[in-house]
Structures are given as structure tokens and as C-alpha cells.
Amino acid sequence: MQSFENKTAVVTGGASGMGFAMANVFAREGMNLVLADVEKGALREAVARIEALGVEAVGVPTDVSSESEMDRLGEVVRERFGTPEILCLNAGVAGGGGPSHLLTTKDWKWALDVNLYGVIHGLRVFLGGMREQDAGHIVLTASVAGLTSFPGSLPYNATKHAVVTIAETLFSELRDAESRVAIHCLCPGLVSTNILHSERNRPKELQNPGKGATGMDPGVQKMVEGAFSAAKPPAEVAELVFAAIHERRFWIQTDEFFRDSIKARHRAIENDEDPPTRGSLLSVYS
């Protein structure tokens, strides 16, 4: 079994949720941690908690949508630890939700900047060094929304489909090059994180006037929060991620709830049929 002791993991969106849970698992294995997050206070607290586990941890305040801030993250990692062994491009936001005809350009830009360009910048900054090192693991956080197309979250769906195809393309490129860098595509269902409250970090210039803390209709918000309260704990997802890293397994799915929806989509493609229509993503949990 591969040992990760004294090697380095970089996690974006590392101050909370799945990112922080992954960092805890890596710390348990004796790894150095570099956590990147846009929330400075939460980041300081996360670094202190990781350091308390007896490993070295560094927090780098980072807006993953910013090319220059991601460049700075790369500089800190290389200066402190060299090339990372594990890179988790995990930062994400819920993005614009609701009926597609009511979405604004600001909704689209916010989702694309964080969910897609956060991955693009991360790969640009770190992939070359990892290929040169010819070792390591890259975990891209997509979503079950990248394998299906449930209504009501079009920008989020689009970004997660993009992340899935980025992961699949990288897998083929690295396999063709006989590289020992492994790619892993994390496609979680509902996980009990703060993603519903992503609006707290939406830049002012991309906010829509009159929207609340989540950007949702209050009735929809109550239903969604109820579902998320019973969702899978981030710690369980982190263990699935680490198991996939050990097994060098590409797909990481967190539950069985969406298997039928994914299969129905694939059958429609294979049979040249109209895509299946469906209710909300939450309906599979009811």
C-alpha cells in the first residue's frame, strides 16, 4: 500500500465541508497540508485544527476564480513543499438556481468562475509539475449533476458536466502518455455541507438585487435544507476519496440514489431517444 507520510496534499475549498474532511484524512496519513479557501476566518480555524493533529499545515487565502491568486497558491506550495502528491480541486458554489429563463448573466458568471475556472486554474498551475514528477493524484470534484441533468440548476449542471469531461480527457491523455499521475472524478450526491449558503461568498458585482442569503425561494429553501440535513456526512465522502486514491480508481460516487437516473440517461443516448425528463434532484431522496 502506498505511503503518503511526509508528502503534500493541496485542497481548494479546504476550510469546510468535503475539502476539510479530505484534509483530515490526509493529515491522519501524516501528510503536509496546504488549504486554500476564500473564507479567511474559517481557513485560519481549519489550519489550526489540522496542525493540532500533529502535521504541518499552511492556509492560503484564495479565490479560485482568480488567475493571479491561484498562481500565488502554486508559488506557496512549491516554495514550502515542492510538487504536491495529492491535488484536490474541490472548491465550488451552488451557482444560480431556479427556472432557466430567469437566470442572469451574473448567475452564470459566478458558477463558471468558481466551479469551472477554479479547476482550469488549478490544472494550469499544478499539472505540469506533477507530470514532470511522474507521480501523484488529482481529485476533481464534479457532482452527480455532471452525470445527469436535473432541472432547476442549469449553471451548476453545466459546470459539473464540464468537470467530468475534463477528468475523462485528462485520464485518456495521461494513460496514452503512460504517466503515473492518476485522475479521480468525485461525483457526490447530497452531502451535508454549506454549499446551500454559497451566496455568502458571491462577489458584490455578481449579486442579484433582492435575493436572500441562499438566492432561493423560501419554500424551496426549506425543502432543500431538510434534505441536506439528512445527507451523507463529509467525513464519509473523504474516506471514499482516500480509498479511490489507494486503488487508483477513476470514479468516486457517494451513494446509490442516482444509479437509475444515470442509467436512464445513458440508455437514451445509446438508443438515440429523447433525454428522460425528471423532477427535482431531491426527488430521488423522497
Give the β-pairing of 137-141 and 86-89: parallel
* Sites in the chain below the pLDDT cut of 50: 213-214
Q: How many domains does the chain have?
A: 1
pLDDT (0 to 100) of residue 231: 82
pLDDT score at 115: 97
Residue type, position 88, single letter: C
What's the 3-state SS for 120-170?
HHHHHHHHHHHHHHCCCEEEEECCHHHCCCCCCCHHHHHHHHHHHHHHHHH
Confidence (pLDDT) at 96:
79
Per-residue confidence (pLDDT) for residue 248, from 0 to 100: 97
Q: Does the residue 3 lie in any domain? A: no
Burial of 209 from C-beta contacts in 10 A (0-12 / 13-18 / 19+): exposed
What's the grid cell of residue 213? 442569503
pLDDT score of 213: 45
CATH number of the domain bearing residue 36: 3.40.50.720
C-alpha grid cell, residue 77? 506550495
Asked if the structure places residue 1 within a domain, the reply is no
Q: 78 lies in which domain range?
A: 8-285
State residue 235's pLDDT score: 96
Q: How far apart are CA 165 and CA 168, in angstroms?
A: 5
CA distance 211 to 203: 13
Between CA 5 and CA 13 the distance in angstroms is 22
Tell me whether residue 2 is in a domain. Answer: no
Whether 25 maps to a domain, the answer reads: yes
Assigned domain for 244 exists: yes
State pTM to two decimals: 0.93
Q: Confirm whether 136 is domain-assigned.
A: yes
- Is 142 inside any structural domain? yes
In a domain, 235, yes or no: yes
